């Protein structure tokens, strides 16, 4: 086996072991029928690696939720700890979500620069930062550029769309 192949196998094994140690669980889900939203609370523990290497994915009724109030579908918080996000269910055509079917998963982000539809640069560390973390994301079926029209992407992160 070549050194390159061994390096790739080692990296894959390390990522797999890091993933095996991480846990993510839904700790709450509350629907607001008047607003057409669902608020999800979740907890992550034992995650390692760069934030851009992971993506939290919420599924409800067999559909991956993608329209969130706080951030884009690909940018849900993935750091250890407790998090809350609000899904605009009605905006995705779901008027009565079945909360019992909700699940969450911590997914290894597979989008790479060549096949990404979006590039998100985190500039929240300020002008004197020595690095700005970058996340690449591939668009899903319910994804629109309007999902980046949120305060987070006006102040702390910049989203670029491939044209």
Of residues 106, 136, 107, 132, the one with CA closest to residue 120: 136
Q: Which residue from 161, 162, 159 is spatially nearest to 71, judged by alpha carbons?
A: 159
Whole-prediction pTM value? 0.75
The token duo for 77 is 């918080």
Residue written as token pair 């305060």:
151
Q: For the chain, which residues make up each domain, given as ranges?
A: 22-161
pLDDT digits (tens, 9 = 90+) for 18-75: 445 889 999 999 999 999 999 999 999 998 877 778 889 999 999 999 899 998 888 8
Asked if 95 contacts 89 with a C-beta cutoff of 8 angstroms, the reply is yes
């Amino acid at each position: 086996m070549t050194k390159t192949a061994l390096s790739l196998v080692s990296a894959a094994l390390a990522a797999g072991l890091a993933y095996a140690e991480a846990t993510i669980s839904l700790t709450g889900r509350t629907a607001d029928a008047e607003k057409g939203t669902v608020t999800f609370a979740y907890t992550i523990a034992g995650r390692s690696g760069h934030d851009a290497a992971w993506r939290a994915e919420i599924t409800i009724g067999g559909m991956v939720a993608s329209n969130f109030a706080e951030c884009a579908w690909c940018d849900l918080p993935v750091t250890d700890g407790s998090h809350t996000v609000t899904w605009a269910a009605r905006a995705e055509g779901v008027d009565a979500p079945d909360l019992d079917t909700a699940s969450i998963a911590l997914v290894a982000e597979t989008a790479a620069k060549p096949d990404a539809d979006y590039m998100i640069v985190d500039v929240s560390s300020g002008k004197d930062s020595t690095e700005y973390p970058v996340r690449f994301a591939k668009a899903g079926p319910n994804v629109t550029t309007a999902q980046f029209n949120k305060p987070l992407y006006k102040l702390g992160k910049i989203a670029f769309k491939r044209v």
